[in-house]
Amino acid sequence: MNSQETRCNWLDIAKGITIMLMVMGHSSIPHSFAAFIWAFHMPLFFIAAGWTTNWEKRTFFEYCIHRTKTLMLPFVSYSIIVCLILSHHNSWKGVGYLLSHGWEGYPLWFIPVLFVASVISRAVYEVKSTYFRLMLIFSLAMVGVVLDNNNIYLPWAMSSVPYASFLVAWGGYIKHIVSPEKSNKIWILLCFAITLGISLFYRLDMAWNNITPVIPLTIGAVSGTIMVFMLSSLIEKKCKTLSKIL
C-alpha cells in the first residue's frame, strides 16, 4: 500500500476471504479444517488493524476519538438492536447480565476488544525507543499468557485484550517486513504448511483467550495471516489482468 489514505484492495479481499472462512469455522465441518481456520481467522483482523494504522497521523487523544466513532458508536447502536431482538427470546438473560458479563462468545465480543487493544497499541507507539516499544509489545503477549494459564476470564472478553494488543501493535511492524505484493505460490504454500501443522496440535480461541502455548500459536497465527494476505494479493493481480483482457 503506497499511502495510508489509499484503499488497499488486496486487504479487502483478505478480510472477505477470512469472513467466509470464519463462517465455515463455526459450522459443522471436520475438526481439523475448523482448527486450521481458527489458527488465524481472528488474529488476522487484529494484525490488519495494526497494519493499516498510521500511528503518527493522529495524537493519542485524536486517535481515541477516531476509534470511538468508528468502532464503539456502531457497536453500541448494533448492540441495542440485538438486545431488542433477543429480549423476545427465552435464552435472553437481561440487560443487567449483559452489562456485567458482555457478549461472551457472541461475535460482538470482538469490537470492544479491538477498541481497547487499538488504544493500548497507540499508547505503546508513543514510546520513541524501538527497543522499549518492542519490549512492551511482547510483554502484552506475556500478560495474556498469565491470564490464560491462571484461567482468568474478565467480563466483555477483556482477558483477550493483552494478546490482541500484541497482535495489533505487532501488525504495525509486520507490514515493514512482509510485502504481500511480492507474494508467490511457494511462500503461500509454506505459510499454509506451517499453519496447518501447528493447528493439528494446538487450538487458538481468542474469544476465550486460549492462547497457549503462545509461541507456536502465534507463529501459526502470523503465518496464516501472511498466507491469506499473499493469496489475496495474487487474486487482486489476476483480477486486474482479467479486467484488462475483458
Domain count, the chain: 1
Look up residue 95 and give its three cell numbers.
Answer: 440487560
- 221: part of which helix (H) or strand (E)? helix 214-245
Residue 4 lies in a domain: no
- How confident is the model at residue 3, as a pLDDT? 43
Where in the sequence is the domain holding 97, given as residue range(s)?
Answer: 9-245
Residue 238 lies in a domain: yes
Provide φ and ψ at 85, rounded to 5°. Answer: -70, -45
Residue 1 lies in a domain: no
Residue 3 lies in a domain: no
Residue 2 lies in a domain: no
- List C-alpha distances in Å: 51 to 123, 137, 177, 202, 215: 16, 15, 11, 26, 21
pLDDT in tens, the chain (246 residues): 444 446 788 999 999 999 999 989 888 889 899 999 999 999 999 999 999 999 989 999 999 999 999 999 999 998 888 888 877 777 777 777 777 777 766 778 999 999 999 999 999 999 999 999 999 999 999 999 999 999 999 989 999 999 999 999 999 999 989 888 887 889 999 999 999 999 999 999 999 999 999 999 999 999 999 999 999 999 998 887 776 676
The DSSP symbol for 58 reads S
Residue 171 lies in a domain: yes
Map residue 196 onto helix, strand or coil.
helix
What are the residue ranges of helices labelled H in 57-213?
Answer: 60-67, 73-86, 95-101, 110-124, 130-149, 161-177, 185-199
Q: CA 127, CA 119: separation in Å to the nearest integer?
A: 14
- How confident is the model at residue 95, as a pLDDT? 76
- How confident is the model at residue 1, as a pLDDT? 42
Residue 64 lies in a domain: yes
Q: Which residue's entry shows cell 506475556?
A: 142
Q: CA 20, CA 37: separation in Å to the nearest integer?
A: 10
Residue 145 lies in a domain: yes
